[in-house]
């Protein structure tokens, strides 16, 4: 009888081992998904502003013209120190905005409209931008342009449409190559150079 019990135990152990081996083959580790990127909102909450950092880096390396000298301001009739300081601050702000404007024109985030204004062109924009900063930049640039047009209209005594056309002809030559501009027919394209 001992050999029967030993045989039964042996067969039982064999059955248990076979079942364990088969079950072990069916056990599978779950799929693991590792996310190493954060969303834009998480980056902003942690203090990272990728689009703004990129624009600031570009602004730091962009070439720009030198500001006006005191002699140039005197020759233009801005003789008092108060007037010279005011015009120097305005010119410096305009030069600072010019580099950002040119970069956004080339990236097609803003465009030179056929009426002479800058407008935001979100659909064609290449890359991420800070919408609020771009809106403020456009508002400043368009305000400055309206002031220039008003000044030219008073000096030349020509109608607004003629002043804008003349200004636009000169201004379009200064738009950087690849800048986003609207044709007279209303089609948008990159400026060819």
Q: pTM of the predicted model, to two decimals?
A: 0.55
Whole-number pLDDT of residue 77:
73
Task: Parse the chain into domains and list their residue ranges.
Answer: 49-190
Whole-number pLDDT of residue 121:
92
Whole-number pLDDT of residue 127:
86
Sheet with 180-182: strands ordered across: 118-120, 110-112, 180-182, 188-190
Q: For the chain, what is the radius of gyration of the CA atoms?
A: 34
Whole-number pLDDT of residue 135:
92
- All residue ranges of the chain with pLDDT < 70 are 1-7, 17, 19-30, 32-38, 40, 44, 60-68, 70, 73, 78, 87-88, 91, 94
């Amino acid at each position: 009888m001992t050999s029967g019990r030993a045989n039964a135990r042996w067969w039982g152990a064999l059955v248990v081992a076979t079942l364990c081996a088969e079950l072990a083959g069916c056990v599978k580790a779950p799929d693991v998904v590792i996310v190493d990127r954060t969303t834009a909102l998480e980056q902003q909450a942690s203090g990272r502003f990728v689009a703004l950092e990129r624009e600031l880096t570009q602004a730091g390396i962009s070439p720009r013209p030198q500001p006006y000298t005191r002699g140039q301001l005197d020759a233009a009739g801005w003789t008092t120190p108060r007037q010279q300081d005011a015009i120097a601050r305005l010119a410096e702000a305009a030069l600072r905005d010019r580099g950002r404007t040119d970069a956004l024109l080339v990236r097609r985030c803003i465009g030179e409209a056929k009426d002479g204004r800058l407008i935001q062109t979100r659909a064609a924009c290449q890359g991420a931008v800070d919408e609020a900063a771009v809106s403020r930049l456009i508002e400043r640039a368009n305000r400055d342009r309206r002031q220039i047009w008003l000044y030219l209209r008073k000096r030349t005594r020509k109608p607004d449409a003629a002043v804008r056309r003349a200004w636009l002809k000169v201004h379009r030559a200064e738009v950087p190559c690849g800048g986003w501009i609207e044709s007279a027919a209303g089609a948008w394209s990159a400026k060819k150079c």
